[in-house]
Amino acid sequence: MQSVVPWDAGGARLESFLPARFEAYARILHDLQDGTRWSDHATNPIGPETSFREATGREPQGSDAEPVYALSARAVAALRRVLVSATETPDRCWFCIWVGYGFWQPGSSAILVAKREPIAGNHRRRSIRRRTKRVRRPDPAVPPEVNRVRLPHREYYLFGGRLMEPTFEFGIWHQSPNIWWPDDRAWCVATELDGYSSYVGGSRACIDSVLASPDVETIGVDPTVRMDPGPFR
């Protein structure tokens, strides 16, 4: 990742996670726990920086109508269908997942499958499979050769994979990557840890396709927009 800016006094902005070089950007509102959308509950207009509480007048936590902190599996699949045609390198993509998630820790039961050499037409891909075990002394849950990406205030493990294949399998819960992009950097998707929205930057045509998709709830934004505050506003 490059060309991102530090957080300012007002908190994180989109340009702190996605470079401001893309032609257009979209905000993707996460599904609620019960499968409904923000618009199903909104009593006020939803704008680029509107929080769930501001949109609905409801507390965002404590019910099945609470937004989730990640893209749902359905939303990830919908985005993949749109984004695959917006890159020339769909067989070589990169996925960042925050190092602080509980499924990395010894004692969890998550299984990670990471395609380390995603080359089109080459079926001899190496994989890392790691089942974390409960141990008496600390034991790394991720092999040390897995690279890391560091942004202001955040650190991620970096994995490679094909866009249209399920690259990660977690036995505990669904977790979409926090940041993912193709090798040609035609677009990039970002999900902050505590937010109820994800964001994508790309060409005007790419973002128009995202905004037009009936399978995700979206809003056009610019890179200076404040990131979704999750339950905090």
Which residues, including other chains, have CB under 8 Å from residue 72's CB and lie 6 or more apart? 30, 31, 174, 176
On whether both 96 and 158 belong to a single domain, the answer is yes
pLDDT given at position 194: 84
Determine, yes or no, domain membership for 29. yes
pLDDT value for 117: 45
Please indicate, yes or no, whether residues 101 and 175 belong to a single structural domain of this protein. yes
Averages of pLDDT over each 10 residues, the chain, 233 residues: 67 85 96 91 94 87 78 90 96 89 62 44 37 38 73 84 71 75 96 92 98 96 90 76
CA distances to 1, 55, 210 from 63, in Å: 36, 16, 29
- Are residues 128 and 57 part of one domain? no
Amino acid 132 reads T
The count of structural domains within the chain is 2
Is this prediction's pTM over 0.85? no
Domain final residue, candidates 185, 207, 224? 185
Handedness of CA 157, 158, 164, 166 (dihedral sign): negative
**What range defines the domain where residue 193 resides?**
22-87+189-233
The predicted pLDDT at position 107 comes to 55
For residues 161 and 167, the answer to whether their CB atoms sit within 8 Å is yes
193 assigned to some structural domain: yes
What integer pLDDT is reported at residue 87 of this predicted model?
Answer: 97
Determine, yes or no, domain membership for 141.
yes
In a domain, 13, yes or no: no
- The DSSP symbol for 61 reads S
Tally Cβ neighbours within 10 Å of residue 100. Answer: 11
